[in-house]
Amino acid sequence: MRNVHLRMGMLAGWLACLVVAAWAQEAPAANGTATAAATLRVSTLDEVKAEFDVVPCKNKERLQAVKALFERLGARPEDVTVADFKHVQNVVLSKPGTNNNAETIVIGAHYDKTADGCGAVDNWTGIVTLAHLYRTFKDYPLRKNVVFVAFGREEEGLIGSSAMTSKIKKEQATDYCAMINIDSLGIGVPQSLDNVSSPTLTKLTEALAKELELPFAHARIEKASSDSATFLQKKIPAITIHGLTSEWPNILHSKNDNPAKVNFSSVVAGYRLAAALLARVDESDCQAFREGKDKNKDKDKESKEKKESK
């Protein structure tokens, strides 16, 4: 997390039932079939915990470690791409939706760290969550396109996410239904970083947490930002989910940010909540989470396009 100081239909409802049933390691698809093409692979606490046996503590090691993690969790090497901008590299995996249109959900986490510590909380927890979400939904036929992105150089000013959003043209922004950002789980309960999160997505996330019987809280860290902010600037609904407490200044961006500080139950809770949120957004209208005037503009644009096509 960059700091200036130095939320159901079939699938989501099924996920809620799965949580209550202790999130079996592997579960059938929502329609009850067990075909390989419609399987949700749900990660366990032990599996998530194992990802912290070795945490890359040097920035130069992180990009390759991210790629290796995705491949170990089922991604084909050729599907793990590096979006190479002039000044930053993002690791990207794209999952096409069954609707065969441009509607897209972005789910991301930054992989870089500050000079001090191993960056286990900030933000290897986000990368582990992102990779396990990829494995969970990899073989499930989601409706919308989903782009999984590990952003580079977040700590230096949201550079990776800014590079990505700079390529989104104004007329393309409405194709982006939501952006879900995971940053610094592993200390406390899942929370929304309200100052860089859409109220609509925050409200949905809180409702989903209640359904899943997961703890949830709100926090505003006014001198902090995260990669959801660059999507909000493009008027794309976005949320940052974190798991910090008042102790975060003693851990983040310091030598104390190491695997021993990670509460693995916190990471798993964040993973489960993000999975349910992704499922709900996938089955919702793409414009459902836009705010006020932006939502009305999008409806007017959609109505105009329909009239022109007749």
258: amino acid identity, one letter:
N
Report the b/e string of 57-83 with b at 16+ CB within 10 A.
bebeebbebbbebbeebebeeeebeeb
- How many domains does the chain contain in total? 1
- For residue 117, give every residue at least 6 positions away whose Cβ sits within 8 Å of its Cβ, in sequence order, or none: 57, 253, 254, 255, 256, 257, 258
3-state secondary structure of 158: coil
CATH number for the domain that contains residue 37: 3.40.630.10
pTM, two decimals, is 0.86
Q: Around Cβ 247, how many Cβ atoms within 10 Å?
A: 12
Summarize pLDDT for 207-230 with one digit per residue, the tens: 999 999 999 999 888 778 999 999
Q: Is the bond preceding 59 in cis, omega lying within 30 degrees of 0? A: no
- Domain of residue 34 covers 2-309
Task: Please name which of 214, 234, 98 lies closest in space to residue 169, comparing C-alpha atoms.
Answer: 234
Q: What is the pLDDT along the chain (310 residues), one digit of tens a residue?
A: 654 332 334 455 545 444 433 333 344 444 444 443 468 899 999 999 999 999 999 999 999 999 999 999 999 999 999 999 989 999 999 999 999 999 999 999 999 999 999 999 999 999 999 999 999 999 999 999 999 999 999 999 999 999 999 999 999 999 999 999 999 999 999 999 999 999 999 999 999 999 999 999 998 887 789 999 999 999 999 999 999 999 999 999 999 999 999 999 999 999 999 999 999 999 999 999 998 755 555 445 454 444 444 4
Summarize pLDDT for 158-196 with one digit per residue, the tens: 999 999 999 999 999 999 999 999 999 999 999 999 999
Helix/strand/coil percent split, the chain, to 5 = 45, 15, 40
